[in-house]
Amino acid sequence: MSNSKIPVTIDIDLEDLIPGFLTNRGKDLGTLRNALECSDFPVMQSIGHSLKGVGGGYGFDRMSEIGAAIENAARIKNVEQLKELIENYSDYLTRVEVRFE
């Protein structure tokens, strides 16, 4: 995985909301990892669905893409794909760099 930042441009009107939003997405990551350990596919599917919906609304399109993929992988119980997607999501959260306009 790369160390380069992933720039995301967000509307300046959302500036106050983004730190809490990203903190909550980090909590989702922890929940996803725990759910993966327990093979709790409904929880992973639910979080994937949520990420799919909220990411794009704030301008995090890649988050929505990963969320949709997690939702689908959980639906078919593809553990290997879920492991990869959850790590991709972790990498994304680590590298995303928010810019406000």
What pLDDT does residue 32 have? 98
Residue 21 has a CB neighbour count (10 Å cut-off) of: 18
Bridge partners, 8 (sequence order) = 98
User: Does some domain include residue 1?
Assistant: no
Spatial separation of the C-alpha atoms in residues 63 and 69, rounded to whole Å: 10
In this prediction the pTM is: 0.94
pLDDT beyond 90 at 2: no
CB 4 within 8 A of CB 97: no
Percent of the chain scored above 90 by pLDDT? 94
**Buried b vs exposed e over 28-52: b needs ≥16 C-beta within 10 Å?**
bbeebbebbeeeebebbbbbbbbbb
Q: Does the pLDDT of residue 1 top 70, yes or no?
A: no
In the chain, the amino acid numbered 100 is F
- Give the residue ranges of DSSP H helices in 38-78: 41-58, 61-75
Number of domains in the chain: 1
pLDDT in tens, 79-101: 999 999 999 999 999 999 999 99
What does the pLDDT read at residue 16? 96
Q: pLDDT tens for residues 65-74?
A: 999 999 999 9
Domain interval for residue 59 = 6-100
CATH of the domain at 24: 1.20.120.160
